[in-house]
Structure 1
Amino acid sequence: MPQLNPNPWLFIMILSWLTFALIIQPKLLSFTPTNTPSEKISTSTKTLPWPWPWI
Structure 2
Amino acid sequence: MPQLNPNPWFFIMLTSWLTFSMIIQPKLLSFTSTNPPSNKTSMTAKSIPWTWPWT
TM-score by length of 2: 0.72
Q: Which runs of 5+ in 1 are unaligned?
A: none
Q: After the TM superposition, which parts of structure 1 deviate over 6 Å for at least 4 consecutive aligned residues?
A: none
Give the 3 Å change call, closer, same or farther, for CA 8–44 of structure 1 in structure 2: same
Q: How many residues align?
A: 54
TM-score by length of 1: 0.72
Where in structure 2 are the equivalents of 1:1-55 lying within 5 Å? 1-45=1-45, 46=47, 48=49, 51=52
Identity %: 63
Q: Which runs of 5+ in 2 are unaligned?
A: none
